[in-house]
């Protein structure tokens, strides 16, 4: 499903109205029915105060007030502008509601806010229809005071399209805004609905089908999507009777240094749990006994390191020779390698010379930060999996720049260097060199613990090793990893979750995805769907 900004949604609306020929009043009617349905199905209470602005968002609220009145609710409307200021479809819905026995109070000055305060006290549910997705400046004065009153009312708040005061185009909070319990948006989710901290003020987000034809958004860019189960189903290859372990790939995991043997071990274990046929760690010889003791199914190949306990440029040739002469189908490099300058040189030269599909993580990314142009030389699938700090180093952008526009900066990097980028965060972004971005909204804060990124590298590496396309490997890997994290948190709590728990829950996550392939979930309503339902798990 597309993930949009305000201008993109406005363009889709115009295309629908002007080219397809669906009148705006029909779109508004469908939107308002969605708001009423969410209130009817999910919100307790029988008295509703609908607070309307002067634009189309207010028109949506006026139409929703009519639907709720028809459903038997005790409805009151507050208009924050004089009726003559309403235009078009919003004006038409005002004319309709004014003919019904629904009280309409005009409260358009600070002096009348005491009346809003009294109306809020008398209501159980507040519908926020002040400002829609077109807002880009902070609320001030009268409207900021209205928002304050709504937030302090301690009533259940349902926002129309977006909580008033938020910008649809960013996860940043631009000023005072409504804090909603529910948000009902139209046609497609917007950036603010999924990226923190703005999304934390949206409550439960529902998406309403307002009859925009499916083809219209695909005529318009950019290709920014919510990562859903539909995007990843049927990614894993089928298994046939005569298949053998090499059918599903042999992945080399290159990593480890003194004190950091756990990272490559977890990645290598994750490779097998994801379904690869073989997994081998390539490690400094002086550390090999640790791996021999720690790992059972995973094999190890020790490389002489003169007792250093890390890889340096002197180990480049034997490591390359080992990879080239082995029956490897993909390489995962970087976990626990350490930050020795000699190691960084080893990584850069290895990335230049190795011609296998590759996942680069952690210290591998840090090593490339000094000369990321090396990535342009790669002609095989290459996936980078940095967290925000690592990406800041390799992209030369501040963390603030990255967090303010994660899709844009990830896509710029991916296309510039010709790689697939998995930008790990509370909302992980997958960016492809073909110009697509996917935003993952599953997973949980319990996954913010040491080693979970190493597990992700192993998962993605396993998929590359199976011969799965670069984009699909990144998308499926992120989704599967987060789903395993959610399963682990549900069973163990977020506080107790550790990286190895994700490895143990990968089988349950794969099983859940395969069940969806056999029996796709259907929404309880074909017109109004909660965001998690859209994601599909």
Q: Residue ranges of the domains in the chain?
A: 6-219, 245-518
State whether residue 4 is helix, strand or coil: strand
Which band of pLDDT confidence, cut at 50, 70 and 90, is reported for residue 132? Answer: very high
DSSP for 431-480, please give it. E-TTSEEEE-----GGG-STTHHHHHHHHHHHHHHTT--HHHHHHHHHHH
Answer whether residue 205 shows pLDDT above 80: yes
* Beta carbons of 483 and 512 less than 8 angstroms apart: yes
* Beta carbons of 408 and 176 less than 8 angstroms apart: no
Answer whether residue 2 shows pLDDT above 80: yes
* Beta carbons of 473 and 383 less than 8 angstroms apart: yes
Answer whether residue 329 shows pLDDT above 80: yes
Q: Of all residues in the chain, what percent carry a pLDDT higher than 70?
A: 99
Count of Cβ atoms closer than 10 Å to residue 99 Cβ: 8
Nearest to 2 by CA among 185, 215, 225, 232: 225
Which band of pLDDT confidence, cut at 50, 70 and 90, is reported for residue 57? Answer: very high
Cis check for the bond before 197: say yes or no (omega within 30 of 0).
Answer: yes
Crossing angle for the helix pair 56-70 and 24-42, to the nearest 10 degrees = 50
Q: In CATH terms, is domain 245-518 a member of 3.30.70.100?
A: no
* Beta carbons of 504 and 274 less than 8 angstroms apart: no
CATH code that applies to domain 6-219: 3.40.50.10260
User: pLDDT tens digits for 473-511?
Assistant: 999 999 999 999 999 999 999 999 999 999 999 999 999
For residue 523, what pLDDT is reported? 76
Non-local CB neighbours of 431 within 8 Å, separated by 6+ positions: 407, 410, 411, 413, 414, 415, 420, 421, 423, 437
For residue 219, what pLDDT is reported? 67
Rounded distance, CA 163 to CA 486, Å?
Answer: 27
Mean pLDDT of the chain, nearest integer: 97
Rounded distance, CA 390 to CA 410, Å?
Answer: 12
Q: Residue 253: which region, alpha, beta or left (left: phi > 0; alpha: psi -120 to 50)?
A: beta
Rounded distance, CA 213 to CA 192, Å?
Answer: 23
Beta bridge partner(s), residue 8: none
> Would you give the DSSP letter of residue 536?
T
Q: Residue 172: which region, alpha, beta or left (left: phi > 0; alpha: psi -120 to 50)?
A: beta
* Burial of 108: CB neighbours in 10 Å, binned 0-12, 13-18, 19+: middle
For residue 220, what pLDDT is reported? 72
Which two three-digit tokens encode residue 311? Answer: 């890889």
CA distances from 302 to 292, 357, 508 (A): 10, 22, 33
Residue 345, φ and ψ in degrees, nearest 5:
-65, -40
Q: Buried b vs exposed e over 214-231: b needs ≥16 C-beta within 10 Å? A: eebbeeeebbbbbbbbeb
Answer whether residue 221 shows pLDDT above 70: no
Answer whether residue 222 shows pLDDT above 90: no
The answer to pTM > 0.85 is yes
Mean pLDDT of 417-445: 98
Which two three-digit tokens encode residue 481? Answer: 């990893």
- Compute the CA torsion angle 524, 528, 532, 534 (nearest 10 deg): 90
Mean pLDDT of 57-68: 98
Answer whether residue 404 shows pLDDT above 90: yes
Rounded distance, CA 443 to CA 194, Å?
Answer: 13
Rounded distance, CA 537 to CA 535, Å?
Answer: 6
Answer whether residue 66 shows pLDDT above 80: yes
Mean pLDDT of 89-105: 98
State whether residue 278 is helix, strand or coil: strand
SS3 content of the chain, % helix, strand, coil (to 5): 50, 15, 35
Own/partner pairs, 496-500, CB within 8 angstroms, 24+ separation: 496/446, 497/444, 497/446, 497/447, 497/449, 498/449, 498/450, 498/451, 499/266, 499/449, 499/450, 499/451, 499/452, 499/454, 499/455, 500/266, 500/269, 500/451
Within the chain, how many helices (H) and strands (E) appear? 20, 18
């Amino acid at each position: 499903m597309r993930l949009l900004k305000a201008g993109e949604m406005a363009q889709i609306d115009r295309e629908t109205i002007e080219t397809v020929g669906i009148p705006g009043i029909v779109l508004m009617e469908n939107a308002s029915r969605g708001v009423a349905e969410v209130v009817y199905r999910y919100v307790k209470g029988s008295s509703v105060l609908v607070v309307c602005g002067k634009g189309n968002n207010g028109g949506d609220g006026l139409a929703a007030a009519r639907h709720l009145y028809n459903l038997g609710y005790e409805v009151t409307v507050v208009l924050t502008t004089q009726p003559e200021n309403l235009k078009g479809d919003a004006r038409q819905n005002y004319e309709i509601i004014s003919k019904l026995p629904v009280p309409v109070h005009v409260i358009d000055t600070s002096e009348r806010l005491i009346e809003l305060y009294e109306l809020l006290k008398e209501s159980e549910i507040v519908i926020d229809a002040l400002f829609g997705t077109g807002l880009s400046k902070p609320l001030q004065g009268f409207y900021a005071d209205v928002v304050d009153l709504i937030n302090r009312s301690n009533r259940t708040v349902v926002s129309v399209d977006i909580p008033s005061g938020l910008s649809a185009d960013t996860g940043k909070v631009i000023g005072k805004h409504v804090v909603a319990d529910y948000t009902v948006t139209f046609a497609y989710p917007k950036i603010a609905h999924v990226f923190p901290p703005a999304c934390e003020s949206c409550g439960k987000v529902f998406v309403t089908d307002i009859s925009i034809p499916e083809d219209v958004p695909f005529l318009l860019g950019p290709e920014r999507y919510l990562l859903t189960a539909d995007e990843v189903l049927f990614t894993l290859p089928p298994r046939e009777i005569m298949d053998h372990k090499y059918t599903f790939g042999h992945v080399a995991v290159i990593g480890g240094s003194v004190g950091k043997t756990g990272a490559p071990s977890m990645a290598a274990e994750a490779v097998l749990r994801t379904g690869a046929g073989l997994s081998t760690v390539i490690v400094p010889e002086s550390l090999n006994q640790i791996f021999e003791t720690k790992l059972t199914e995973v094999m190890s190949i020790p490389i002489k390191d003169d007792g250093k306990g890390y890889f340096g440029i002197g180990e480049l040739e034997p490591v390359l020779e080992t990879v080239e002469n082995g029956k490897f189908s993909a390489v995962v490099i970087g976990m626990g390698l350490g930050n020795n300058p000699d190691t960084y040189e080893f990584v850069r030269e290895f990335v230049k010379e190795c011609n296998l599909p590759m996942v680069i993580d952690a210290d591998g990314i840090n090593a490339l930060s000094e000369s990321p142009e090396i990535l342009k030389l790669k002609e095989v699938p290459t996936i980078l999996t940095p967290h925000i700090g690592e990406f800041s180093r390799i992209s030369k952008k501040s963390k603030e720049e990255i967090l303010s526009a994660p899709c844009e900066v990830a896509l710029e990097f991916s296309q510039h260097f010709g790689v697939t980028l998995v930008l790990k965060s509370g909302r992980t972004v997958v960016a492809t060199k073909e110009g697509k971005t996917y935003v993952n909204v599953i997973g949980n804060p319990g996954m913010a613990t040491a080693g979970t990124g190493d597990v992700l590298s192993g998962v993605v590496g396993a998929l590359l090793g199976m011969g799965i396309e670069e984009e699909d490997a990144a998308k499926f890997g992120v989704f599967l990893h987060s789903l395993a994290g959610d399963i682990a948190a549900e069973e163990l709590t977020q506080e107790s979750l550790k990286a190895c728990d994700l490895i143990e829950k990968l089988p349950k996550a794969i099983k859940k995805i395969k069940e969806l392939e056999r029996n796709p979930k259907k929404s309880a309503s074909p017109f109004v769907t909660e965001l998690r339902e859209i994601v599909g798990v």
